[in-house]
Amino acid sequence: MVEVRKADGSNVADIIRVCEAGYRETYKSLLEKEDIEQVIEEFYNADRIAREVRDISDEWNGWFVAVDEEGTVVGAGGGGMTGSETAELFVLYLDPERKREGIGGRLLEAITEDHIARGASEQWVSVTKGNEMGIPFYEKSGFVYKGERPSHKLPSEKSYISLRYRREIGK
């Protein structure tokens, strides 16, 4: 059985491990290697993750982790409020060896419950165009395609595109 809970300082290295592996696996055929490594270096480093575990606000609701029966972190994710009733799922990755076990859904559920408790009635997520792991997961979870825009923190000259998805929550 997998338990989903808020992360604490002891989970920093595990969050990095899961997010690095998940990001590399997800984007290996979608992004250039140098762009993958640049994102990992910026977002999944010890200083940043430790700060994000510690410093929770409405804009960043903190990291959630999925921990298996052996105490191993097998998934991590987080989000925040972008408006008084609008939330965003910013990140959700699993250990690539643990996909299709319902772990992603449990993480999404915990993050969504946190968003609802903060007053959200809608939730958004960005998914890189061509991400055939993420797109079906979010569509199955009730997200509906709303448009596209240039991908955040990736070189604009390479024309990486993020698809925007939205769903109603808390009803």
Q: Are 80 and 18 in contact (CB under 8 A)?
A: no
List, for residues 94-121, the tens digit of each pLDDT value.
999 998 889 999 999 999 999 999 999 9
Q: Where are the domains of the chain?
A: 3-168
List, for residues 131-156, the tens digit of each pLDDT value.
998 999 999 999 999 999 877 666 56
Q: Are 121 and 171 in contact (CB under 8 A)?
A: yes
Which DSSP helix (H) or strand (E) runs through 34?
A: helix 33-43
Lookup result for tokens 């999925």: 66
**Which among 87, 83, 165, 93 has a CA at the least distance from the CA of 126?**
165
The answer to whether the pTM exceeds 0.85 is yes
Both structure tokens of 94:
């699993």
List, for residues 53-90, the tens digit of each pLDDT value.
999 999 999 999 999 999 999 999 999 999 999 999 99
Does 3-168 carry CATH code 3.40.50.970? no
